[in-house]
Amino acid sequence: MEREGTPILVIFRVLVLIAWIGLALASLYLAIGVPLGSLNARLVNPWLGVSSWDSGLVIGVSRESLTPEQWRTFCSSVGIWSLGGTLSALVAVEQVRRIVSEPSKQSPFTAKNAHRVRNAGLAVFVSAFAKAGRDFAFARFISDNVRITGAQVGYVSDLGVSTIFLGIMILAVAEVMRHGMKLQEDQDLTV
């Protein structure tokens, strides 16, 4: 089975590499920005991109609107969850990159690739909890530091159920791959 030069695979490899580079740069930015307290709040703000038709109050955080201590607290609490989510996404993309980058004239259904798919599924699963942690940390920070007369600030986020489901589905695919390889091994031994 020749996998090396198909145009779709080449395009997919390029897209995976672009995703990997973007996530690596975001992880580096967060890894440096969190300890220095110099994050761009737009990068970690869970409500960025809210449309005008959405209801409710959208609160952004800027360094200028907070005391230095509040800014350090924001960067450490929200930034660390953002870093966790970005790193878990980077792990997932790295597993896919390794699968598609492996030159192989054989089937891609190997034990190593099944393990990589499993790792990608776990990383996607973890990223859902990192997003929920980031959203909760942001909401907690806002409720502790922002006072608006007559308004109640609460936690507005979900756990990322669709991302959790995606992680579970990827884990299921890894298990199917593992089981299929065992059946193939059994069949090879009986022939």
Assigned token pair, 185: 């091994």
Each residue's pLDDT tens digit, 20-32: 888 888 888 777 7
pLDDT tens digits, residue range 135-160?
888 888 877 887 777 766 666 666 67
What count of residues does the chain have? 191
pLDDT of residue 91: 92
112 touches 136 (CB < 8 A): no
Q: Which residues contact 62 (CB under 8 A, 6 or more apart)?
A: 41
**For 69-107, how does the pLDDT look when each residue is reduced to its tens digit (9 = 90+)?**
888 888 888 888 888 888 998 999 999 988 888 766 667
Q: What is the pTM of this model?
A: 0.73
Contact 174, 114 (CB under 8 A): yes
Higher pLDDT, 64 or 179: 179
pLDDT at residue 13, as a whole number: 83
Q: Evaluate if residue 35 carries a pLDDT over 80.
A: no
DSSP single-letter state for residue 42:
H
Average pLDDT, the chain: 78
Tell me the C-alpha distance between 99 and 124, whole Å: 16
Give the C-alpha separation, 17 to 137, whole Å. Answer: 31
DSSP code at position 108: S
Nearest to 24, CA basis, from 71, 94, 72, 78: 94
Q: What percent of the chain has pLDDT over 70?
A: 74
